[in-house]
Structure 1
Amino acid sequence: MISSLKAKAAHLLRGKTAEDQAHDFLINKGLKPICRNYRCKQGELDLVMTDQQSLVIVEVRYRKSDAYGSALESITHSKQARIIAATYHYLSTLRTDCPLRFDVVAISGNGDINWIKNAF
């Protein structure tokens, strides 16, 4: 039981590290942070940022290896639907009509970062 708790803690730490890495990467590319880890019953938004006039919802995915599929491949249609539903909830709290975009930052175990704009 303790080893499974340690494994879960290590997994969460890797996820936070990947989000931190993606956050810094996108700031260096000129995006401006709005919030991180927005949670609601529909799901979670990893990063919410702006890129010029657009609101950008960023999904961060990390995979240690591609043995069971790449980080990009792990974003299924159902995952996209949860992100979109959480985005609707987030937008319901705002008064904005700016353009919206969904990006993905995929990070591999070797440190490669793949930024896909308008991913879905």
Structure 2
Amino acid sequence: MAIETTNPRPAHLRTGDRGETLAARYLEEQGLTVLSRNWRCPEGELDLVLTDGTTLVVCEVKTRTTDNYGPPAEAVDDAKAARIRRLTRRWRADHGVPHVPTRHDIVSILWPPGEDPKVSHLRGVL
């Protein structure tokens, strides 16, 4: 009797996981330090929270395998940006971090199957 095994996570979530791992590595190579990854609370999730030593950097990561529906960063609309800003305040409160200079970025990754990813870091866009 053969046992069927499947990956329980849908393909789009696995793509997102790969993109977040790549984005974290990319940002660390740029000199940032990851403070939290996939931080969750009842109101939502922050993909990456980092610091450059003086500024808190909250980064939304968008990864797509095609640009058929536009660049990945276009998936972050005004409502999503507002939620990220609210979650940033909650993250600071939960971690005992007083108001500090904060920047909200997007890392947009286009990663077609079998190709190298194209990473675009959009600073201070949210």
Using the size of structure 1 for normalisation, the TM-score is 0.88
Q: Which amino acid is the alignment partner of residue 114 of structure 1?
A: S
Which residue does the alignment assign to 2:36? Answer: 35
- Give the aligned CA root-mean-square deviation in angstroms: 1.7
| Contact 2:92-2:99 within 8 A present in 1 as well | no
Which residue does the alignment assign to 1:113? Answer: 119
> Where in structure 1 do 4 or more consecutive aligned residues deviate above 6 Å?
none
Task: Note the residue ranges of structure 1 that are not aligned, 5 or more in a row.
Answer: none
Task: Note the residue ranges of structure 2 that are not aligned, 5 or more in a row.
Answer: 1-5
Q: Secondary structure at the match of 1:96?
A: coil
| Contact 1:61-1:71 within 8 A present in 2 as well | yes
**Displacement after TM superposition at 1:95 (Å):** 3.2
* Equivalent-residue separation in structure 2 for 1:80 and 1:41 (angstroms): 17
**Displacement after TM superposition at 1:97 (Å):** 2.9
**Displacement after TM superposition at 1:52 (Å):** 2.7
Q: Which amino acid is the alignment partner of residue 57 of structure 1?
A: V
Q: Tell me which protein shows more helix as a share of its residues.
A: 1
* Structure exhibiting the larger radius of gyration computed from Cα positions: 2
Q: Secondary structure at the match of 1:80?
A: helix
* Equivalent-residue separation in structure 1 for 2:27 and 2:90 (angstroms): 24
Give the aligned length: 116
